[in-house]
Structure 1
């Protein structure tokens, strides 16, 4: 049986972000989530596109540097 590492790493990233009370640096996601560092940025892009995640700060070329789980709009 093949393991889908993309799904596994995306789950590790969402778990790590969900356990954080507020914003999370992408550097900390890379260091502490357990996800393969080469899959972090593509996964964050997909999570942002799906509406699960919002980017709080971006680097000069547009890569996310700080993210957080998207808050419910109906507060």
Structure 2
């Protein structure tokens, strides 16, 4: 039986949403509201995208969670 990997699907939705804003900053609230990803997967996905070097966190909340992000400039 094939299992669907929702984590990968949601990470792609988040990356696509951030990419669609071409270098401008995006609030994490906007990502949660508009990306189509499960809201419980947003913060773990953002962490992985940041660790991979694809994402830049522009602002963090008091406890370290990202609040504003953008795609890291390539090159």
Q: TM-score, normalised by structure 2?
A: 0.94
Superposition deviation, residue 37 in structure 1: 0.2
Aligned partner of 2:61 in structure 1 is: 59
1:41-60 aligned at under 5 Å gives the runs 41-60=43-62
Question: Gaps (5+ residues) in structure 1?
Answer: none
1:40 equivalent among 33, 39, 42: 42
The 2-side partners of 1:50 and 1:71 are apart by 13
Aligned partner of 1:9 in structure 2 is: 10
Aligned residues: CA RMSD: 0.7
Question: Gaps (5+ residues) in structure 2?
Answer: none
The 2-side partners of 1:60 and 1:51 are apart by 22
Q: How many residues were matched structurally?
A: 73
* Deviant stretches of 4+, over 4 Å: none
Q: TM-score, normalised by structure 1?
A: 0.94
The 1-side partners of 2:3 and 2:65 are apart by 31
